Amino acid sequence: MNRWLLTFLVTCCFQYNAVAQENGGWKGFGIETNFTIGKMIKHTPKFTGPIPDHSYSFELNLIKKTYGQKDWQQRRHYPQIGIGFYYNNYNMPDVYGQAFGIFPNIQLNIIKGDHFEWTVRAGMGVGYDTRPYEREPNPNLENVAIGGHWNNISPFSTDIRWKVNEHWDLQAGVCFSHVSNAAFQQPNLGINMYGAHFGLRYFPVTSKPELIKRTLQPLKNRWLLQARYSMAFIESSPADGPLNPVYTGALFVSKRYWSKNKVYGGVDYTYNSAKYAKLKSIEHFQGQEYKESTQAAVFLGNEFLIGRLGILFQAGYYLHKMDEQTDNIYEKLGGNFYLVQKEKGPLKELFFTALLKTHAATAEFFEMGIGVGF
C-alpha cells in the first residue's frame, strides 16, 4: 500500500510539473500531502466497540491559492481552496476496515509571514468504509459506530508551515475528523478522531502568485427575511429497520456584515416520522403521537460567504423536545449553494442547502433542501 502511494505521488508530481511548465496560468496550483497518526475518541458510553491503540491516515490534496480573480477572494484575504483525497486505516481491519474519501476544502490564514504561516482548514465530503456493521452474510457486530458503507466525512485541521521556497512548503499540525452516515443506516454513533500530522506541499510554477487588488465597494449591511425547508432520511433502530423521512422548516432573519458574512437567527420546527411510527406501533401517547414526534427550537448562526458558496455554523435551543430526547442544544454544520444572489428585486437569494445536525459529537441526521431570502 505504501509503495503504491509513493509511486502514485511521484507520478502525479511529474505529470503536474510538465503541464504546469507548459501553462504559466497554473500559478498558485499545487499538490499537498499529509500523513497522520490518530486516535479514536470514545465520545459516548454507547460506544461499546474496541478502540485501536492508534490509526493512521494519508491525504492527497489538489490545491489552488486564490489571488483575486474574483471579488470574494480579495474580501476573504485570498484563501486556499482544494479537493482532497483521503485514506484512513483504523488499524483494526476486522472491525472497522479502512476508509476512503473525497472532500472539498478551504484554508484560511490566521497568521501569515514571509517564511512561516499558521492556517486553519475545514472540509466536508463523502467517504466509503470497507467494514461497517453487518449481521449477515459476514457478521460484524462489534462496529457500533458505522452502519453503512457510504458516509459523510468532515475533516478539520490547523497547521504551522515553513515556506522553503516558492515551490516547496513543509508543515505540521493537529487535526480532527468526523465520519458518520447521519443515521441513514443504523447503528450510527460515528467515528471521531484526533491526531497529529506532518506533510509537504509542491507548487510547480509558484506558491506566490501576484495578488490582484481592486478598490471594492462595500456591500450594504442588509437585512433579509429568509425561509428554509429541508428533508432527511433516517433508519429506525435496530439495524436494518425501515427508512423514514424527517422534515424541517425554518423561518429566520439575517444581516450581512463586513461584505462577506451573515449573522442570522430564527425558529425551526422538525417532524420525525420514524418517532411517530414507533409511538403508533407501541400505542404510547395515544392521540399525542404527532406532538411527541416533533421538535421546536430557536437558533443563532453565522454564515461565511465565499462567492456562491456559504459555509455556516448554527446552534439551537429546544423549546419543545420529542419523546425520549434529553439534549437541550443542537448544532448544525454545512453549506448553502446560491442559485440567485441579487442586491435588488423581491427575491434576493435562492439556494440549495446541505446540513449535518448533531448533538455534541453524535450526528442526528443529514438534511438537504432549499431556501429563499426576501
Classify residue 28: in a domain, yes or no.
yes
Q: Which of 134, 167, 202 is the last residue of a domain?
A: 202
Q: Check whether residue 369 and residue 233 sit in a common domain.
A: yes
**Predicted pLDDT at 168:** 96
Residue ranges making up the domain that contains 254: 223-373
pLDDT for 24 equals 56
31 domain-assigned: yes
pLDDT in tens, 76-112: 999 999 999 999 999 999 999 999 999 999 999 999 9
Assign residue 335 the CATH number of its domain: 2.40.160
Q: What is the pLDDT of residue 9?
A: 46
Whether 273 maps to a domain, the answer reads yes
Report pLDDT digits (tens) over 186-234: 888 889 999 999 999 999 999 999 999 999 999 999 999 999 999 999 8
Would 212 be classed as within a structural domain? Answer: no
Please state, in angstroms and rounded to a whole number, the distance separating the CA atoms of residues 57 and 99: 9
Neighbours of 270 (CB within 10 A): 25
pLDDT less than 50: residues of the chain: 1-11, 14-23
In this structure, the answer to whether residues 229 and 198 fall within a common structural domain is: no
Task: Give the domain CATH number at 93.
Answer: 2.40.160.20
pLDDT value of residue 23: 46
- Is position 82 within any domain? yes
* pLDDT (0 to 100) of residue 313: 95
308 neighbors 341 (Cβ within 8 angstroms): yes
Number of independent structural domains in the chain: 2
Do residues 9 and 143 both lie within one domain? yes
Does residue 231 share a domain with residue 194?
no
For residue 275, CA distances in Å to 146, 285, 371 come to 21, 12, 26
Please indicate, yes or no, if residue 209 is contained in any of the structural domains: no
Which of residues 202, 232, 266 is at a domain's end?
A: 202
348 and 289 housed in the same domain: yes
* Strands of 124-187, DSSP E: 125-129, 150-163, 168-180
pTM over 0.85: no
